[in-house]
Amino acid sequence: MSDEKAPSPSRRQLFKSLGLVPIAAVGLAGCAREADKPADLGPAPGDYKPTFFTAAEWAFIQAACDQLIPADNIGPSASQAGVPEFIDRHMQTPYASGDIWYMQGPFIEAAPQFGYQGRLPVRDILRVGIKGIDAHCAKQFSGKSFAQLEHQDQEALLKSAEAGKLELENISAKEFFNQLLNETRMGYFCDPKHGGNKNMSAWKMIGYPGMRADYTNWVEVRDQPYPLPPVDLDGKRG
């Protein structure tokens, strides 16, 4: 019985991947203390060195995420919140290698109501998609990569991927876009322990109290906004 209570292999692997955290966690702790100024969006997450993405892929991820969640006066941008770091780390979890997806063939086309029927797990959907978009850009914009394009060109490309109007090699641009958007939103709103949502800045933007998980005294309060700032899984206050 005691053996059965040990974390399952996939959970153990997840722990292991989270073992990569220390550098980021130290940075986070350092910044949490100076985070009280409203304008301060936390650390510049530029120090993170990707261990999954290549340099070219990393440039794409940073540029694309900031198109999806741009810098403005509403809240942090994706890169200010550490989304690229989240995605780089998330791609190294069992989830992103297809651990909980049915991955056996044959892989046949089906109506969209049946979901993605290709053979790539999330991390390869991103890889193959990035390569496809950069190849498309090189052809269309005289050798430039996506990250080197003007903002409006980047935005237009993502819009046509979202609408399924962009033809890429080996992958549906729409499927790629959906996975990229999902990953970006997850990185924006996840617990900071996963690398994104630095300083709980995305939670503060929407007023999410994070991991408090006890609202006994607030269920019936109607006349004032919930007053407490967020806490994360480590017990830090935002």
In the region spanning residues 14 to 53, those forming contacts with other proteins, defined by CB under 8 A, are 14
3-class SS of residue 19: coil
Residue count, binding to other proteins (CB under 8 A): 71
Instruction: Name the residue among 53, 57, 56, 51 with its Cα closest to residue 19.
Output: 51
Among all chains, which residue has been given the structure tokens 């549906």? 172
Is residue 106 within a helix (H) or strand (E), and if so which, with residue range? none
Using rule CB under 8 A, residue 111 touches other proteins? yes
- To other proteins, the closest distance from the beta carbon of 230 in angstroms equals 10
* Alpha-carbon distances of 66 from 63, 105, 155, rounded to whole Å: 5, 36, 10
Using rule CB under 8 A, residue 202 touches other proteins? yes
- To other proteins, the closest distance from the beta carbon of 196 in angstroms equals 9
CA 211 to chain centre: 19
Range 126-165, binding other proteins (CB under 8 A):
155, 158, 162
Using rule CB under 8 A, residue 89 touches other proteins? no
- To other proteins, the closest distance from the beta carbon of 142 in angstroms equals 27
Is the distance from CB of 79 to CB of 63 less than 8 angstroms?
no
Choose the binding region for other proteins from 42-50, 52-60, 61-69, 130-138 (rule: CB under 8 A). 61-69
Residue number, 44 or 221, with CB nearest to other proteins: 221
